[in-house]
Amino acid sequence: MTTTLRPSAPLQQTATGARSRPYEIRVNSRRVGALVIAADGPLGPAVGELRELYVEEPDRGRGRATVAALAGEEVLRGWGCRRVRVAVPASSAGGLRLATALGYTESGLTLCKELPAAPPALPEGVGARPMTEAEYARWLPRAVASYAERCQERSGLGPEEARAFSAAQHTELLPQGPATEGMSISVLEAAAADRREPLGHVWVATGQELPGGGSGAYVYDVEVDAAHRGRGHGRGLLLQAERVALAAGARRIALFVDSGNTPARGLYASLGYRTTTVHLGKPLW
């Protein structure tokens, strides 16, 4: 018996080159599962995705998912994609085994946390306030450059592509800068009466769709200033993120962490964050 992909709806395509199409996984004429193939994510048509891969229970363990994934990669090659990525629920042991067997490597994790009923207190000796317009003007170029560098590592984009993508993302998310509705960029600072020294910042978006369904808050960026690292201020910034989320009525908060960032992963785990999604990818050429 032959496992194949059959389109189940017309190709959706935009003027920018983004594409997506759902497929049925079939064994001869019998439908045994489904897959969505897309190159419409924020990284643009250079990076494709395999989404919602599903094989019905009676046909599992027979290589149907493997054939479907490989066929999906061929579709993406035909679309000119240079890289493919997948997002696998952390609870899907089979999905993670399949991705590993097909040569995908882990790039990062989405972590989520159920928020407490009451806002946590900040560490003694520190306070938090909104980022000023002047601070934002200094922060934005650094943020664009830093995210562009991470995009290159994760997606294989060239330097100019990555920088253009990063700049566009920041413009889209922060059209009114730090005053953008639903966005909060807080600065953690020393709270002693004789000084107000910035220690770091945290950018939180509220009203976001989170993994697993439902809405909540999402931490886009958290960073301790270089001169103040190693003193526990990362914990203070994340507690401030929780305070912002709770003030907006959120009950959950999420963030993304690079797989190789061991110190950050340890901090998040100590604060009660748990992995919900594993992100993996591989080159197609």
Paired strand residues for 115? none
List, for residues 85-132, the tens digit of each pLDDT value: 999 999 999 999 999 999 999 999 999 999 999 999 999 989 999 999
Q: What is the pLDDT of residue 192?
A: 65
Summarize the confidence of residues 50-74 as an average pLDDT. Answer: 96
Is residue 151 very low, low, confident or very high in pLDDT (cuts 50, 70, 90)?
confident
For residue 51, is pLDDT > 90? yes
Q: What is the chain's mean pLDDT, rounded?
A: 93
For residue 173, is pLDDT > 80? yes
Summarize the confidence of residues 165-173 as an average pLDDT. Answer: 93
* AA identity, residue 72: G
For residue 206, is pLDDT > 70? yes
- Say how far apart CA 31 and CA 47 lie, in whole Å: 28
List, for residues 207-252, the tens digit of each pLDDT value: 999 887 789 999 999 999 999 999 999 999 999 999 999 999 999 9
Q: What is the pLDDT of residue 193?
A: 62
With a pLDDT cut of 70, the percent of the chain lying above it is 98
CB–CB of 264/229 below 8 Å? Answer: no
In the structure encoding, which two tokens stand for residue 179, read together?
A: 């005053």
Question: DSSP string spanning 63-119?
Answer: THHHHHHHHHHHHHHHTT-SEEEEEEETT-HHHHHHHHHTT-EEEEEEEEEEPPSSP
- pTM > 0.85: yes
For residue 29, is pLDDT > 70? yes
- The residue ranking higher by pLDDT, 247 or 152, is 247
Q: What is the pLDDT of residue 213?
A: 79
Who contacts 66 (Cβ-Cβ below 8 Å, separation ≥6)?
A: 98, 101, 102
Between the alpha carbon of residue 240 and those of residues 193, 204, 225, 248, 285, the distances in Å are 20, 9, 16, 13, 43
For residue 166, is pLDDT > 80? yes
- Say how far apart CA 267 and CA 223 lie, in whole Å: 13
Q: What is the pLDDT of residue 17?
A: 82
Domains observed in the chain: 3-81 (3.40.630.30), 114-280 (3.40.630.30)
Q: What is the pLDDT of residue 15?
A: 84
For residue 42, is pLDDT > 90? no
Q: What is the pLDDT of residue 136?
A: 97
- Say how far apart CA 15 and CA 45 lie, in whole Å: 11
For residue 254, is pLDDT > 80? yes
Sign of torsion over alpha carbons 109, 115, 119, 121: negative
Summarize the confidence of residues 184-207 as an average pLDDT. Answer: 89
CB–CB of 154/107 below 8 Å? Answer: yes
Q: What is the pLDDT of residue 60?
A: 92
Could you identify the residue written with the tokens 């089979």? 94
Who contacts 284 (Cβ-Cβ below 8 Å, separation ≥6)?
A: 48, 73, 76, 77, 81, 82, 83, 84
Question: DSSP string spanning 183-234?
Answer: EEEEEEEE--TT---EEEEEEEEEEEE-TTSSEEEEEEEEEE-GGGTTSSHH
Q: What is the pLDDT of residue 220?
A: 97
Question: DSSP string spanning 2-28?
Answer: -EEEEE-SPPEE-TTS-EEEEEEEEET
- Say how far apart CA 201 and CA 221 lie, in whole Å: 8
